[in-house]
Structure 1
Amino acid sequence: MRAFLNLALLLALVPSLLALSPRLKAERPGPVVLVVDAESVREEARVRGKSLLEVLQDYRAQGVMGVAFPEHFLKDWVDLGVLRYRPGSELREAGLPARRGWYYVKGEAWLLALLEKAYALPTHRLGDWLGFPLDVQAFPAFYPLEEMQEAKEAGFYVVARPINHRLRRLDPALPVVPKEADAVVFAGLEALGHPYRLEEAKALVHAPVALIEGTPQPGLQAFREKGILRLFSLRYEWQLTLSPKEAADKYVLAARERGHQLLYLRPYPYPEDTQVFLGRIQEGLKASGIALGTPRPRDFALSPLRHAAWVGVLAGLGLLALGLPVYGPLVAFALLLLALGYAGSQAGALLAALVFPVLGFLGPRNGLWMWLRTLGYALAGAVFLSALGSTPATVLGLTPFKGVSLTLLVPPLLVAYSFLEKDFKQALTRLFQHPLRLGEVALAGLALLLLALALLRRGNDAPVVPELELKLRSLLQDIMVRPRFKEVFGHALFPLALFLPWPRWVRNGLLFLAALGVASILNTFSHFHTPLPISFFRVVNGAILGLFLGLLGVILVRRLRAWWLG
């Protein structure tokens, strides 16, 4: 039966690999465009006594081909001197028949004409003054349209950043999204028109929409048909804590390893730092083979061959049922119900992530063959997971993978469960009656601590990441596709567990911890927004580096043991 299931697994791998072809074509890196924030450049233009376009031309020589125009608030026009803003009470004191509790603006005619139709509010004309019944200083108030047009005519890639507001009118006659825009990046924490007017907003958007790394914007999915671009930016306060080279490396890494196409930049306070910053980005992109140019939305059609991966997943589930010593079929059925009930359409992908890290631990403990078997099953599971879970929405990052924590928690627990004997009642009785030793308590506590650490550290914004590891990450990503430390750690434990004369409970403990690293392989591939080749080389580099460190650890432990025993 096991031979039949393994054969079915191998046969399912071929169509599953072919099903990944559309995704691989869509994930080719580049082209990317460097986009500078117009408002961050405006002050520099004033200091240098130049127009915004003249300063942008200087940035073009440094590789910046795009400019983003955040939509102004009404108070921004007041600060620029384009509008004057007065409460109605002040105008009444000046002898004008202004309405009590109203607010009035006065200024350039083109802007007043737009503002008169901009909000779902009554208005009051008082000569050159335009009145509103609410304080509208923090209301969205369009763009410097002349500057946008000049930038477009000069050949820049123009990005519009509209602001959502419940009282703004989404009228096609208004420049909510100007025709010059090549892309749209919603300002704030929600998409234009969210939550109840998304259909109206979609009619105004004629360009691809950007998904901002680390900034969920409810309603963004509604604009999927417009095309989605991935955008990376650093919060400016954090950027200023980094050197120009450190910040540049993060932009290059985003383009190379996470498929970002819009690199949204803000200059440093000193031009010398900005020059180093932009130069480093260009050097890094060139070294990575990523071209500068006009980005295009990435989309792909799902291959019908992907359904063959279900055969591989169910075969793996069958192997798990046969390999677990106690209630294997019942445990496998429970996992199937968990995946179907929790993950829905992603059930197959989640099931692959829960099952395949465990399969290699169920066979004989025959040294490095066990490590190779475990790695092979994990990579097979990664193929099935990717084939079933890769959709345009998950690859773009619009739909996250359901069950990320489960992929790190369940497989090690299943590995620990596999250590039970068939006569588990007697084994548990012996365990209950085992005399407790301080060393065993310490090792058990260490194992639980490492398990908790693995869960707390998942994701880019993990709350527990030592400073030393951050420095090692930076060093490794400069010379290779950086492996995940959990995987390096897990692979290193295999030689230590299998080549040294440990008591059985110590060997089992080490293999349990090694299972954390193997589970991390599937967790790596569950980050669908990371290009497949990057995930693959991350896993391979982790396996090679971990095995090398593990073999080195075996030599050191043997020499230490020989010294201790005299």
Structure 2
Amino acid sequence: MTKFKYNRLLIVCIIIGLIAAIGVNIQRNSVEKANMTVDLAIDYEDMVKLAQLEGIPVEEVLSQAKQAGISSLAVYETTFEKLNKNGKAMAIAGSSVLENYYSGTLSDPAWRTLVQQGTIKADEVYVVGHDKQTYTEVKEDLFRRLGKERVNVLDLGNQEILAVKANYTELLKMNLGMPTDEMKAVNDAGFYVLARPSNYKNVTDDDINAVFDRLKDFKISEIVFSGSETLGGLHNTERTIELMKERDITLGMIEHVTQLQFYPQDGLYDIARGLDYKVARLYTIPKDEQPKLKMDVAVERWANTDEERNIRIDLMHIYEKPEGDMSLLATNMKYISDTKAKLESKGFIIGPASHFEPFFGNTILQVIMLLGICSACVLYISLVYPSLSNKKQYILLAICFVITAVPVLIGKGSTIRIMAALAAANVFPAIGMISQLDVIRRNRLIGKLKFGPLLLKAVKAIVCASVVSMMGAMFLSGILSDVEFFLEMSIFRGIKLTFVLPIILVAIAFMQRFDIFGDNLLTPPAFKEQAKRILNMTVSVKALVGFLIAMIVAVIFIGRSGHTAGVPVPGIELKIRAFLEQAFYARPRSKEIFIGHPAFIIMIMAWYRKWPAAIFFILSIVATIGQGSMVETFAHMRTPVFMSLMRGFDGALWGAVIGCVVMGALYLWQYIASSTDRSKSLNE
């Protein structure tokens, strides 16, 4: 029987690296704990709409929203669509003016005079102001957006109007700058303004100055840019950064609908870095989805979102249909107050969004972690190729370490760190599984173990394997710990591979230790021979169908990871998830608690009860899924490290409990079956 040796020097290097990784993760946890203030925000326009739907003053709705827990109101740039409704200014198509003139319905003599003079053009738009401040702001912004050659000032008796060369329909939708009247109303009601400015075409520093001049007299919680560009776009963000830093304003970054990184806006990352990461992640439940959610489900989503994805701006929308016997106003106030209470119960503070400190891992600690990861990679190779001498292992370690450490030391190691994280995520779960395969391989007993000793061995094995896997999680989390990963400006891109590669690594090691076909279990043929035997197997239709089913399961298994595959989640699983979210601090992953960890327990039983080698192999592969998933959880760097740790712990604990219950049921079934067989033999 081939003996596989665990190089002690490599293990020492892994432990040294682990100490550095744990130290970095403790620092990371402190940074995350200091970022616990959530801005509970809602659109000012939604508040106005709610007041109109209920037929009550806007001031009363704002007062109740303040009491319910809203801290900021989002104010967007004004448009003629809004102005035409509130009556403070109006855009009139020239064709409409002419139509009224020739139909005899244009009674105003000043307008009639302009038509008679030929001043009114059918293809122009005419802007009339009924509120002096609003008209002044609209006029200023039209000149900035369209230029003086397209905007002319006309006299309409004792009143000034604007003649604009523009398409009427498009002009109605055009952004016209931040409305000071709305921002004043927001501040007067006791809220902060969450400002939503847009960019200008061919934007200049003067345009940017004008935006911030509008904002200067108001309390601003955050700026969240509207549209596909930030203010300044790709090429002129310096002035935006300068003014935001000068006024100590936080940048809001809108999470993408896939929950992966952000809604694309030109210049977004430049501003974030220029502000030294004074940034808050924003999430909003899509308007077309919210009506489908019951209020308690929506409230739970906000809590989970803020906890698990580092969201610090919750931009809410109103419900437009009342719930139960409540009025529409009461429904929405309950929605807000319940959300606030839920967040506070989770330890969050409500107010202008907090942000991460510009944390970047210590370079020396990163290099030490690289030493540990390189050592683990070499250790895995030695466990697959036992003929690799210690000298060759040390040479391989030195080469790997130098190649990875030098770029990090000179400040060019971003890609290296991601590759190291990928290695840790795959190698450590594999080593954890292999180590326990080696343990049971050395301790196979001739007689069958009773249930108690068998259960203890299974629990001990899963604990040991999970500890090794968690070491990989610490390395992954530690090596990637910096503010760009916390904010998801940078992401770990190996998640799909992490679901598959540990299985491959364990399968290779398994065939070096065991004969899958069970002919000579502890002295298997060479890996190449087993591989050839698999490829040359005669396959029945039944086996082919089973293989196709397994492939479909595998595709779903991989496709369900992340947020981009579009594989639907069954309703029953959603209910199970909801239960787990309520029952645990952090919901354990289904593939761990219901699949991987129970399979690990049964794998130990399969070995000591001498089940067929093929079943033992399949259970080993399924058990690897659970170990790999524990580490992969930490690849979502936006999730606080303590939450990921608790998710892995709960999954391993309760997955082992489920596995032990299943083991007990199988043991009982075997005992009853064997008793029945003995009774039959005696009767015969």
**Is TM > 0.5 for Structure 1 vs Structure 2?**
yes
2:350 maps to 1:288: no
256 and 428 in structure 1: CA distance in 2 versus 1, 3 angstrom threshold:
closer
Query: Is the 2:89–2:127 Cα contact (8 Å) retained in structure 1?
Result: yes
* Structure 1 residue 272, shift from structure 2 partner: 3.1
1:441: Cα distance to partner?
Answer: 4.1
Secondary structure at the aligned position of 1:174 is classed as: helix
Stretch moving more, 312-321 or 190-199: 190-199
Pair 1:470–1:460, CA change in 2 (3 A)? farther
Offset of residue 452 of structure 1? 1.6
Per the alignment, residue 482 of structure 1 pairs with 587
Question: Are 2:11 and 1:6 aligned?
Answer: yes
Distance 2:538 2:54 in 1: 79
User: Could you report, residue by residue, the CA deviation over 1:364-398 in whole angstroms, capped at 9, with x for unpaired residues?
Assistant: 15253442332122111111111111110110122
Cα separation, 2, equivalents of 1:454 and 1:102:
59
Tell whether the 8 Å contact from 2:308 to 2:638 is kept in structure 1 after alignment: no
SS at match of 1:64: coil
- Are the aligned partners of 2:310 and 2:638 in contact in 1 as well (CA < 8 Å)? yes
Give distance in 2, aligned partners of 1:439 and 1:18: 53
1:126 counterpart residue number: 154
Deviations 1:206-227 (A, max 9, x none): 4111122334233321221331
Q: Distance in 2 between matches of 1:130 and 1:169?
A: 24
- Aligned twin of 2:444: none
The count of corresponding residues between Structure 1 and Structure 2 is 565
Using the TM superposition, give the Cα deviation of residue 91 of structure 1 relative to its aligned residue in structure 2, in angstroms: 5.0
Change (3 A) 1:165 1:511: farther
The Cα offsets for residues 164-220 of structure 1, whole Å up to 9 and x where unpaired, read as 453666614423672322201222344333334433543454411112233423332
Name the CA distance, whole Å, in 2 between partners of 1:199 and 1:406: 39
- Matched to 1:276, the amino acid is K
Closer, same or farther in 2 for the Cα pair 1:253/1:428, shift >3 Å? closer
Query: What is the aligned partner in structure 2 of residue 259 from structure 1?
Result: 310
Out of 464, 469, 476, the position equivalent to 1:385 is 476
Residue pair 2:224, 2:253 contacting (<8 A) in 1 also: yes
How far, CA to CA, are the matches of 1:508 and 1:338 in structure 2? 35
Distance in 1 separating the partners of 2:235 and 2:128: 32
- Counterpart amino acid of 1:361? M
2:195–2:224 CA contact under 8 A, matched in 1? yes
Return the offset for 1:89. 4.3
Measure how far apart 1:411 and its partner are. Answer: 1.6
1:12 Cα deviation after fit: 1.6
8 Å contact from structure 2 (residues 600, 622) kept in 1: no
2:89 counterpart of 1:57 = no
Q: Give unmatched runs, 5+ long, in structure 1.
A: none
Q: Which residue of 1 aligns with 2:84?
A: 78
Deviation at 1:103, TM superposition (A): 3.0
Pick aligned residue for 1:493 from 599, 612, 616: 599
Do residues 512 (structure 1) and 631 (structure 2) align?
no
Matched, 1:209 2:251: yes
1:160–1:142 Cα change, 3 Å = same
CA distance in 2 between counterparts of 1:260 and 1:552 reads: 38
Q: Residue type matched to 2:426 in 1?
A: L
Q: Report what 1:527 is aligned to.
A: 636
Contact 2:51 2:61 in 1 (8 A): yes
Q: Specify the code of the residue in structure 1 equivalent to 2:632.
A: N
Q: Distance in 2 between matches of 1:191 and 1:520?
A: 37
More deviation, 389-398/411-420: 411-420
- Give 1:402's aligned residue: 493
The aligned runs of 1:126-205 (5 Å cut-off) are 126-127=154-155, 128-135=160-167, 136-164=171-199, 166=201, 171-175=207-211, 178-179=215-216, 180=218, 181-203=220-242, 205=244
> Which stretch of structure 1 is more off in the superposition, 367-376 or 197-206?
197-206
- Please identify, of 188-197 and 486-495, the stretch whose mean Cα deviation from structure 2 is larger: 188-197
Counterpart AA for 1:42: V
The aligned counterpart of 2:22 is 17
Structure 2 residues without counterparts, runs of 5 or longer: 1-5, 100-114, 257-261, 321-327, 408-412, 441-456, 513-524, 677-684
Deviations 1:9-65 (A, max 9, x none): 112211221122332122115222211211111112234555534421211111112
Q: Does the 8 Å contact 2:433/2:506 carry over to 1?
A: yes
For residues 308 and 598 of structure 2, what CA distance do their matches in structure 1 show? 25
Structure 1 CA distance, aligned partners of 2:542 and 2:620? Answer: 18
**Normalising by structure 2, what TM-score?**
0.76
Report Cα offsets for 1:110-129 as digits up to 9, x if no partner.
23332243315332223333
Please say if 1:302 is aligned against 2:360.
Answer: yes
Shift of 1:140: 1.1
Q: Which residue does the alignment assign to 2:335?
A: 277
1:351 is matched with 423
Question: After superposition, what is the alpha-carbon deviation per residue over 1:328-355, rounded to whole angstroms, capped at 9, x for unaligned?
Answer: 899x999999999994542222221122
TM-score of the superposition, structure 1-length normalised? 0.91
1:246 corresponds to: 297
Distance in 2 of aligned mates of 1:382 and 1:113:
58
Kept in 2: contact 1:326–1:424 (CA 8 A): no
Tell me what 1:427 maps to: 530
Q: Contact 1:118/1:174 (CA < 8 Å) preserved in 2? A: no
Measured on the aligned residues, the alpha-carbon RMSD in Å equals 3.1
Is the contact made by 2:203 and 2:232 (CA closer than 8 Å) also made in structure 1? no
Farther-moved stretch of structure 1 (547-556 vs 447-456): 447-456
> Equivalent of 1:472, from 568, 572, 576?
576
AA of the residue aligned to 1:103: V
Question: 2:52: which partner in 1?
Answer: 46
CA contact (8 A) 1:119 1:168 kept: no
- 1:327 shift after superposition: 10
Deviations 1:117-153 (A, max 9, x none): 3315332223333233332222211233123124224
What does the per-residue CA deviation read over 1:472-511, in whole Å, with 9 as the maximum and x for residues that have no partner?
A: 1111111211011122221111011220233112211221
Q: 1:129–1:338: structure 2 CA closer, same or farther, 3 Å change rule?
A: farther
Secondary structure class of the residue paired with 2:423: helix
SS state of the match for residue 61, structure 1? helix
Percent identical across equivalent pairs? 23
SS of the residue 1:264 aligns to: strand
Question: 2-side partners of 1:427 and 1:371: how far apart?
Answer: 28
C-alpha separation between the residues in 1 aligned to 2:598 and 2:658? 6
Distance 1:402 1:508 in 2: 29
Q: Report the CA distance shift for 1:49/1:435 in structure 2 as closer, same or farther (over 3 A).
A: closer
Cα distance in 1 for residues equivalent to 2:310 and 2:352: 14
Verify: 1:457 aligned to 2:548, yes or no: no
* 1:192/1:286 CA distance change after superposition, 3 Å: same
The verdict on how the C-alpha distance between 1:47 and 1:432 changes in structure 2, with shifts beyond 3 A counting, is closer
Match of 1:220 in 2: 268
